[in-house]
Structures are given as C-alpha cells and as structure tokens.
Structure 1
Amino acid sequence: MIDKLEFLLALARERHFGKAAEACRVTQPTLSAGIKSLEDQMGVLIVQRSSRFQGFTPEGERILDWARRIVGDAKAMKQDVDALKRGLHGHVRIAVIPTALPMVARLTTPFREKHPGVRFTILSSTSIEILTLLENLEIDAGLSYLDNEPLGQVRTVPLYDERYRLLTARTAEFGDRSSVTWAEVGRLPLCLLTPDMQNRRIIDQMLRNAGIEPEPTLVSNSTIVMVSHVRTGRWSSVLPPILAESIGLPDTVASIPIVEPDVTHSVGLIVPHREPTTPMVAALVREARQLARQLEAER
C-alpha cells in the first residue's frame, strides 16, 4: 500500500498525472492504476477525474492526510533502523527563508562534524512554501518565521529575533544617521523582496503603520539582486543585520537601525509534529537548541 500512497502524495504535489508519474519514476497508466486500486480498497472516490486533474474529493483529502502520516512514519521507521545499524547517515533537506540563509551554516556545519555520513540540500523558499513542503514530505525541516503568521501543526525551536536595518549609501539622505524611522524609510527609493515573502509583508505593514503606502522601485526574490543595487549608491533597502553582516558591505554603504518602533520577529527551526520523530530530525533539533544557546550567549 505504501507505494500507492506515495503515488497519491506525488499527485498532490504535482497536480498533474503525467508529472506525478514522472516524479515516481513510473508510467502514467501505472500511477493511475495504483490510485484506482487504492480507491477500490477504500471504497470511495479519491480523485475528481476528467481529462485533467481537478483535485481531490472530500474523502480523498482525508485519505491524503492519512497518506502523509503513514508514508512519513514508514520513512521514519526505516531511518530509525538504519541509524541503529550504521549510525546517522543520509540526506537532510532544509528550506530557508531568504533573510535567514546566512544562519544555515551555523546549523549544518557542526551537525555534519558530528555526523559525517550526512549530506544536505538547502533551498531558498518563502515561509508559505516551507509549510507546504513540510506537509508534503518534500523537506525534513525549515528555517522560517515563528510568529506573525499561522504555522499549523509543527514543532519549533526559536533561534533569534530578526530586526531591521536600512541599507543606504552614506552620501544619500539619512546616510549619516545613527537611526531612522519607518516613516523616513518610506521616503527613499527602495528595493525590496517580492510580496510573496513574509519579510516583505512585515516591511509593508510597518510602512503602512507609519502612514506610508509601500511603493518600491524594484522588487526581487533574490537578496543578492537587492544588495547589488544598494551597492550602486542609488538605491536603499531594508534587511536584517544578520544578512547585512554576512554580505560584507562596502564602506560606502551604511547599515542603520530602524526605530519607532524597533520591530522584531522570531526566526527558528520548524520540523514536522510527529512522534516518534526520525533520528535525523531529532539530531537536527538538538543542534538547533545548541545553536540557540550560543546565539543567546553572543547577545
């Protein structure tokens, strides 16, 4: 049954029979037959059928929830047994919001020193994408915001509080200031992340609270693009200090705290809420808690 449930999860991810079959490395008739067999076994219609995928029936949505749990538990069981035989090894997939990417190395590096048989895939994703990827078993963990927007059924390990700085040329307006207000930030030509990013939604809300309607002159889903424009001296941006410090700003660019108010949002590790958890995730949670203590000591 596990393989049929995996067919169902692939269909939920891809929303297309052909692409789901390709992801499972089977033919489309094989995938369709597997799902039909599952429907016969359950005695209900799972997929709304036509020439194209149209979604799941209400019964199908409930079966999909169980499929995620069962497939996740099956993978956890296999990893648990493998860890007993060979120690912790395998592949860890972590999705990270763009503003937290500089923090990842402080988690993965000591983790791999303790578990050299582990390899990593790190993805840059929005906070919403991270929750979807976790739900669909496409990643093992995420680094994301822990407040501001609902997380659902997950376990969290807070790591640090994200604050916000204005990055601007020292010769630009406010470039010689020790702090600026959100209202002043709104007067500058800004390059910001795209609206699907929670960081952008936070900044938009702060500007609106200050009476400014956000109208950035450039948007991108890449922090590298934003910083490269700030380096020209013609643009400004709003980024967390952890990101500003990691990119090595030139002397011509100032990183200025934004006040009135001094806003913070919690960022941390997110993992599926499952007991027992996989040995890999359990080790990752332990490493995150150790990192949280280090970051607290550095404050």
Structure 2
Amino acid sequence: MIDKLEYFIALAREKHFGKAAEDCGITQPTLSAGIRQLEDMLGVMLVQRGSRFQGLTPEGQRVLEWARRIVGDARTMKEEMRAARFGLGGHIRIAAIPTALAMVSQLTTPFREKHPDVTFTVISRTSVEVLAALENFDIDAGISYLDNEPLGKVTAVPIYRESYQLITSVGSRFSERESVTWAEVGGLPLCLLTSDMQNRRIINQHLAQAGITVQPTLESNSMIVLFSHIRTGKWASIMPLNLSQILGFSEPIRSIPIVEPQASHSVGLIAAQREPHTPLIAALLHEARALSRIMMPLS
C-alpha cells in the first residue's frame, strides 16, 4: 500500500499522470493502475478524471493528508532501523532561501564532522517553494524566515536574526555614512531580489513604512547577479548583515546599517512536524539548536 500512496502523493504534486509516473520511475499505466487500486481499497474516488488530470476529489484531499503522514512514518521507520544497524548515514536534501545560502555551511560542516557518512544536496528556493517541497517530501529540511509569513505545521529552530544593510560602492552617495534610513535608501538606484522572494517582500514592507514605493532599476532571483551589478559602482542593494559578513565585503564595496527602524527577522531550520523525526533530521535539528546558541546567544 505504501507504494500506491507514494504514487498518489506524486500525482497530487505533479498534477499530471505522465510526470508523476516519471517521478516515481514507473510507467503511466502502472501509476494509473496503482491509483485505481488505492481507490478500490478505500472505497472512494480520489481523482477527478477526464482526458487529463483535473484535480483531487474532496475525499482525495483528505486521503492526501493521511498519505503524507503514513509515507513519512514509513520512511522514518526504515531510516531508524538503518541507523540502528549501520549508524547514522544517508543523504539530506536542504532547500534554502537565497539570502541564507551563504550560511548553510555553518550548519552542514560541523554536522558532517560528527557524521562523516552523511551527504547533502543544497538548493536555492523561495520561502513558498521551501514549504511546498517540504510538504511533498521533495526535501528533508528547509532554511527560511520564521516570523514574517505563515509556516503551517512545521518544526522550527531559529538560527539567526537577519538585519539589513545598504550595499554600495565607495564614492557613491551615502558611502561615507555610518548609517542610513530606509527613506534615504529608497531614493537610490537599487538592484533587488524579485518579488517572489520573501526577502524582497520584507524590504518592500520596510520601505513602505518609510513612505517609499520601491522601484528597483534591476531585479533578479540570483544573488550573483546583484553582486556583479553592485561592483560596477553604478548600483546599490539592500542585503542582510550576515550575508555581507560571510562574503567579506571590502573596498570598493561598503556595507552600511539601515536604521529608522533597525529591522530584523528570524531565519531558521524547518522540518516537517512529525514525531519521531528520522534519525538524520533529529540530528540536524540538534545541530541547528547548537548553532542557534552561538549565533543567538541571548535567545
């Protein structure tokens, strides 16, 4: 039954029979047959059918919640038995918001020193995509904002607080200042992350509170693109303090605190709310709490 529940989860995620079958590594007829067998077993229709996938029935939506829970528990049991036999090992998939990517190594490096048989995949995703991937078992954990937009049912460990800096070139307007206000920053030629990024929505909020409607001269979903434009000396940006510290900005780039207000938001590790967690995720949450004590000693 577990395999059929996994087919069903894949179909709900992909919303396409062919793509779901490919994701599961089976043929489309096999997936369709498995879904029908699951329907027969449960005595309800799960999928609205036509010439193509048309969505889940109300019963299908309810079964999807159970399927995620059952499949998650089954995977937890298998990993726990593997850990009991061979020790902690395996692979952890992490999705992180772009502004947190530079600090992921502070979590993964000490973790792997303790558990050398663990490998990682780290990908960049928006905060919305992180939550969706977590729900659909596409990742094992995420790093995202904790206190700005709803997270739903997750286990969260705050790691650090993100505060904001004007990143600009030496010799540009405000480059000799010790601090700048949000209102002042709003008048600069800014390059910012795209509006699907929560970091951008946070920046928009703080600029709006200062009476500024943000009109960036360049948008990108890539931090590398933003960095390259700042280095031309013709652009400025707003970035988290921790990111500028990790990247070690030096001449000809200046990092200047933004005040009035001096805003900050919590960023941390999130995992599906499940008890018990898999041994790998339990260990990762433990490592995140240890990192939090270093980066947020007063929390």
Q: Which of the five TM-score ranges fits, normalised by the shorter chain?
A: over 0.9
Q: Deviations over 1:275-297 (max 9, x none)?
A: 11110111001101111112235
User: Residue 160 of structure 1 corresponds to which residue in structure 2?
Assistant: 160
CA distance in 2, matches of 1:213, 1:78: 52
Equivalent in the alignment of 2:294 = 294
Post-superposition offset of 1:175: 1.1
Question: Is contact 1:179-1:256 (8 Å) kept?
Answer: yes
Residue pair 1:231, 1:250 contacting (<8 A) in 2 also: no
> In the TM superposition, what whole-angstrom CA distance separates every residue of 1:137-169 from its partner, at most 9, and x where no partner exists?
111111110001001111111111100000011
Q: How many residues end up aligned between the 2 structures? A: 299
Q: How does 1:277-288 map to 2 (within 5 A)?
A: 277-288=277-288
Partner of 1:18: 18
Query: For the residues of structure 2 that align with 1:287 and 1:203, how far apart are their CA atoms?
Result: 30
Q: Is the CA contact 2:103–2:246 (under 8 Å) kept in the aligned structure 1? A: no
Instruction: Specify the alignment match of 2:225 in structure 1.
Output: 225
CA distance in 2 between counterparts of 1:294 and 1:244 reads 18
- 1:14-41 C-alpha deviation (Å, 9 max, x unpaired): 1111010011111101100100111111
* Conservation of the 8 A alpha-carbon contact between 1:6 and 1:71: yes
**Structure 1 unmatched ranges of 5 or more:** none
- Judge conservation of contact 2:10–2:24 (CA < 8 Å) in 1: yes
| Aligned-pair CA distance for 1:258 | 0.2
Q: In 1, Cα distance between the equivalents of 2:153 and 2:129?
A: 15
Q: What secondary structure does 2:119 align onto? A: strand
Match of 2:251 in 1: 251
Match of 2:260 in 1: 260
Correspondence for 1:101:
101
Displacement of 1:250 in angstroms is 3.7
**Correspondence for 1:31:** 31
Q: TM-score, length-normalised on structure 1?
A: 0.98
1:56 aligned to 2:56? yes
Q: Structure 2 matches for 1:104-123, cutoff 5 A? A: 104-123=104-123
Matched with 1:40 is 40
Q: For structure 2, which runs of at least 5 residues remain unmatched after alignment?
A: none
Q: 2:6 maps to what in 1?
A: 6
Contact 1:229 1:235 in 2 (8 A): yes
The residue aligned with 1:68 is: 68
Percent identity over the alignment is 63
* Counterpart amino acid of residue 241 in structure 1: L
